Structure formats: structure tokens, C-alpha cells
Amino acid sequence: MRVRDWLRPPRQMLAVFLGVALVSAGALGWLGWLLLKQDAALESQRRRDLVEQAADRAAATMQLAVVELQSALNSPVSGKTTFAPGVSRISIAQDDMTVRPDGSLPYYAVVRTHPDRLPIFAEGEQAEFARNDLTGAVRRYARLAADPDRDVRAGALARLARVHRKQHDIDAALRAYAHLAAIEQADVDSMPAGLVARAGRASLFEESGRQSDLRHEAAALQRDLQQGRWRLVKSQYEFYAGQASAWLGSPRAEDRDALTRAEAAEWLWQNRASLSATVRRAIALPSGPALIVGQSSSNGLDAVIAGPTFVVALCSRAVAADLRCGLSDLEGRALVGDRPQGRDTAVRAASASGLPWTLHVSVHAEAVAAPSPRRRLLVLAFAVVALVLAAGWYFILRAISRELRVSRLQSEFVAAVSHEFRSPLTSLSHIAELLATDRLASDDLRRKSYDVLVRDTDRLQQLVEGLLDFGRFDAGAAALRLEDVDVSALVRTTVADFQERVAAEGYSVELSGLNQTVLARADREAISRALWNLLDNAVKYSPECRTVWVALERQDDRVSIVVRDQGLGIPIHEQREIFDRFVRGAESTARRIRGTGIGLAMVRQIVRAHGGDVSVASEPGKGSTFTLALRVHA
């Protein structure tokens, strides 16, 4: 079939509709895409503005914090000076370093020790090591332990404890350490006396297997080291921190912030000669970022060091919770957070902001990924419009396909009706012509011709009546003449008339359930017509079994006329459709059984007009049972 032929009405309607639907769907999609794109661009611009403003505010907050640290340098340090947590003040002058608050660093870049007192112990050590005269050594050290110089006292006590240990006099050694601990700020061979006493006692406990005393002492040593109790250099701190954790059998417990500040102080010490008058530096150390703000002069250097806790807190305080703050040093190494890049990041370079770092402010990745409420609304609106359109298209398409089906059925109906008329008419005109020209030779032939004339005229009459009845009932024009009808009697009479008509073809109808009187408000002629149709079908579609069964069944307020045959049966998918106008079963068309497809439609029309219904139960090859249910009139 050519496309042009296919596109003739009514299919033209379908093609037009599909075209309109496609164009409108395309237009809607395109419009939606444009709107969403525009919205995304707007959203991105809004985010950029937001981060730019936030970056300006954050830079101002940080500048203020740095200035505050700097101004702290101008106030002299006294016993009452309070320091912000995580901040140490360092002064470097004449190759010495002072740290405030005391103990805020675990170790120092440099420690000035008292002059060596070694020669004074020479006699005692001679006795102790050269002559192995431990008693003599004890005597000499004990004398020095009462010296007015505290460093001499400390040195003597440490040596005394050592000799007592050699003598296995643990109590005496512990006593010596206890005295040593009491003068803890003294030096024992460049080591704080307090540290020597703690470490000495711990190793003594270890030696003598006093585990709980050892743990107790090692814990105290660890705590003292953490709190910066003694002025130590890094190597000393590292050694004793390692010792304490080995004695405790646990990893080193350290204050990361203080360690970073100690590292920063060391950096300051090493670079003190090359620093400019105003120091503002942020350095990325292995243990974290540190901020150094200070002043350098020929007299020395005064600086404040803030550790990672301070820097990280400043970064997160400077921006709102829904934004991300990142800092990187002048070499581009990350100080806080990673270095976010992309369109939604605002950068303030150190050179422009006067800050010791480059500031990055960005939107959280999840916030960028999450659609804005407006975009969500837009998508929802489009979804609703698309849904409404799709629903509309669905219903229009359904209506069109129904129309197409009806028009197909109608043309099939016209073909079927023409065929039904043509065969009796052809035989009528042929016989009439034979009779008119007197070409039928014998009386027998003439009688047979009259029989055919009667049968075909009867068939034509039935056909016309059927069509007229269908026309009347289908238009709803046929006014029912309702009266009290005894359904048993009505069935009996109709079946008797029908039996008479089909007896010649060898068909018989078996009745049951008719020995009861059931009254219904009904149009006698219409119900009889409906039953006749069912009986006619039962006979038409039972080419082999020549018996039809009719039963009357009563349930509560309903009475059913049941017509059963053992004919061709109806496939399940056709059972609902056969009650529609012009619908004929595939089997009946294939077997060329006469019919027009309006019988059952009319039956349903009649029964429904009575407030009842008609149904079918059937199995192909086994037969069909049609049930015509009516309301009983009490």
C-alpha cells in the first residue's frame, strides 16, 4: 500500500495527531532544557557572588586576627599577662630564647646551660672508677652534696645515686634522687636535675623489677615532658619522650599543637638572621600549619607563634558553615584544607590581602551538586506539564484507535450485510425468472422452487427485521412496553416457535427448570427477541451437536435464562468483545458462517434496558453458555 493511500481518512487523523504530539513534545523538551540551562547559569553566578563576598569578609576577619596578634607584641609581658590558647610568645635576644607562657613548648631551639662543674667531682670519680672504691666515692660525693652551689649539689647527688645503685643500695639511691628532684632547676652535666632524678628513678625501678612504680614514674615523666616542665633541646626531648613511651609500652602521647609551635620556634631561630623587620609568615610544617607574627630588630626578635588549632579555627571562623575555607603558603603548599579549584572558588592572594597566606573560599561540593529549590520546582512543573500532555495524548490516541476500529467494523458490517442480502436475492431472482419464462418443466421442480422462494423470502424478512430491531434498540428509541411477564411461559413459547423453525434441520431444544412461575417486569417481545437471538446463535455455531439446552434458574431476586450449546466455543480474548456492535468472532468469519455481528449487541442492549445483564462462559471446541439475567418482580 502506498503511503498516500494509507494516509487517507480516518488514518490521516492519526498521522496529524502524531505529528502534533511529536512537535509539541519536542518544543516542550527544548524549552525545558533552555530554562534549566539558564537557571544553572544564574545559580552559578549567584554562588560566585556569594564566595567572592565571603572571601572579602574572611580576609578582613583574618587581617584583624593577625593585627591582634601583632598588637600583643607591643604590650610588655608580666606575670599577669594572659595568652590565647595555642599561642606562644617567643623572644630571641643575645643568642638565647625565652618562651611565654612557661612550658607552652615541649622543647626549645636553644638552651643556655650553667657552666660545667665537672672538675669538682674529679676526686670522687677517681675513687669510683679508677680505684673502684665505692665507699670512698660515697664519702666524697656526700660532702659535695652539701655544697652551697646548687649545680654542685645536683651533680654530687646524681653521682651519689649512681654509686648507691652500684652498691645495690636501692633505698639510698632513691633518697639521693629525691634530694636531686627537690632542686630540679639545677643542672646536672647540662641536664635539668628534675629530669635526671625522674629518669634515674624510673630506670632504677625497671632494673629492680618494680613494675607498678616504673609505670607511675614513667607516666609522670611523660606528663612533665608534655607540659614543658624543663627546658630541653629537641634531641633531649625526643630521647626522653621515647624512653617514657617504651617504659609505658604505649605510643608517644604528644600535644601536636605545642610540638608544631616548638618546630616553628626552631624555624624562627634558624632563620632569625634573614628575617625582615616585620615578620608575617605562615609555614607548613610536617605536624601542621603555624602562623608567626613578629618584629625583628638589631636587639633581637619578638614573635607570637600560633599553632594549627589557632589557624584552623581562624579559617573556619572566618567563613559561614556552608562554605569551605582553605589556606596555602607562599609556595603553594596547603596549610588548611586542600586547594579547591574551579568556577565556584574565590582566591585572595597573599600579596593582595596582606595576609601571610593565600585564601581560598569555595562552596561545598555537595552544595554545588544539589539542585536549588527553584530548579527542583522548575523540573517538577515540567514533569507535571509533560504528564498532563502524555495523559492527553494517551486518551486522544485511545479515542482515535477506537474510532479506527469502529470504522473498520462498520465497513466489515456493510460487507457482511451485503453478502447476507445478495445470496437469497440472487436465488429469488433466478427462480422468479425461471417461473416467468415457464422454463420449469415438471410440477415437482416447480414445487421445490416455491419451497426455496418461501425459505429465502423468510430469510430476507428475518434479516430485515433483525436490522430494524437493532436500529431501534441501538438508538434507544424502542420504548419498552413493560408488563408482568411469566418468564417460564415466555421461554416455553419462544422455544416452541424456534423449535418449529429448526426442526427441519434436525435441531432440538431441551428445556429444564420451567415448572415454576417467575414473574418479571419485562417487554415480552423484546425478551423473546433476545432469547431468539441466543438460540439462533447456538444453532448457527453448533454444526455438529444438534441439541441446544435451555434452563430457567432462580437465585434470590434474579431469574436467569441459560442457553447452552456444545458448539465451536469462543476464545477467552473474544468473550468480552462479542457484545460490542459489529464484532464477529475470528472462527465465524473463517468458517463463513452467516452473520452481521449485531445480534449479541442487541441482546445486551435489551437486557440492560431491563436492569439485567448478559454474560458468557465458553471454551473453544467445547461449547458456550449464555446467561441472560433479569430482576424478579415480587
Q: How far is the CB of 378 from ligand ADP (least distance, A)?
A: 53
Query: Shortest Cβ distance from residue 561 to ligand ADP (Å)?
Result: 14
Report the DSSP pairing between strands 323-328 and 334-336: antiparallel
Residue burial 92-126, b: 16+ Cβ < 10 Å; e: rest: beeeebebbeebbbbbbbebeeeeebeeebeebee
Closest CA to 534 of 573, 578, 576, 574: 578
Least distance in angstroms from the C-beta of 32 to ligand ADP:
49
Instruction: Give the whole-angstrom CA distance, residue 537 versus residue 620.
Output: 15
Shortest approach of ligand ADP to residue 451 CB, angstroms?
25
User: Is the Cα torsion angle 188, 192, 194, 197 positive or negative in sign?
Assistant: negative
Q: Least distance from C-beta 578 to ligand ADP, angstroms?
A: 4
Q: Take residue 105 and report the three cell numbers written for it.
A: 613548648
Shortest Å distance, C-beta 416 to ligand ADP: 8
Cβ at position 399, least distance to ligand ADP in Å: 24
Where along the sequence are the contacts to ligand ADP (CB under 6 A)?
Answer: 537-538, 541, 565, 567-570, 578, 584-585, 587-588, 595-601, 624
Q: Which is nearer to ligand ADP, 255 or 565 (CB)?
A: 565
DSSP one-letter string for 490-501: HHHHHHHHHHHH
Q: Angle at the Cα of 624 (from 620 to 628), degrees rounded to 5?
A: 150
Q: Which is nearer to ligand ADP, 176 or 614 (CB)?
A: 614
What is the phi-psi region of residue 168: left when phi exceeds 0, alpha when psi lies from -120 to 50, beta otherwise?
left
Minimum CB separation of residue 405 from ligand ADP in Å reads 15
C-beta atoms surrounding 415 within 10 Å: 11
Rounded to a whole number of angstroms, the minimum distance from the CB of residue 631 to ligand ADP is: 24
C-alpha separations of 188 from 154, 159, 207, 603 in Å:
6, 10, 22, 123
Q: Which residue is nearest to ligand ADP (CB)?
A: 585
State the minimum distance, in angstroms, from the CB of residue 428 to ligand ADP.
Answer: 21
3-state secondary structure of 607: helix
Q: Which is nearer to ligand ADP, 335 or 548 (CB)?
A: 548
* Residue placing its CB nearer to ligand ADP in the complex, 341 or 410: 410
Contacts of 47 (CB under 8 A, 6+ apart): 344, 363, 368
Choice between 149 and 577, CB closer to ligand ADP: 577
Q: How far apart are CA 452 and CA 441, in angstroms?
A: 16
User: Which residue's CB is nearer to ligand ADP, number 193 or number 583?
Assistant: 583
Residue placing its CB nearer to ligand ADP in the complex, 528 or 624:
624
- CA distances 240 to 36, 165, 206, 235, 525, Å, are 65, 21, 15, 9, 120
* Contact of 108 with 231, CB cutoff 8 Å: yes
Other C-beta atoms closer than 10 Å to the C-beta of 160 total 25
CB of 579 to ligand ADP, least distance (A): 8
Q: Are 289 and 306 in contact (CB under 8 A)?
A: no
Q: Which is nearer to ligand ADP, 244 or 601 (CB)?
A: 601
Residue (224 or 565) nearer to ligand ADP, CB? 565
- Helix and strand numbers, DSSP H then E, in the chain: 19, 18
User: All 3 cell numbers of residue 69?
Assistant: 596578634
Number of residues that make up the chain: 634
304: left (phi over 0), alpha (psi -120 to 50) or beta: beta
Nearest distance from C-beta of residue 594 to ligand ADP, angstroms: 7
CB nearer to ligand ADP: give 324 or 584. Answer: 584
- Comparing CB distances to ligand ADP, the nearer of 238 and 580 is 580
Handedness of CA 216, 222, 224, 226 (dihedral sign): negative
Q: Which is nearer to ligand ADP, 473 or 541 (CB)?
A: 541
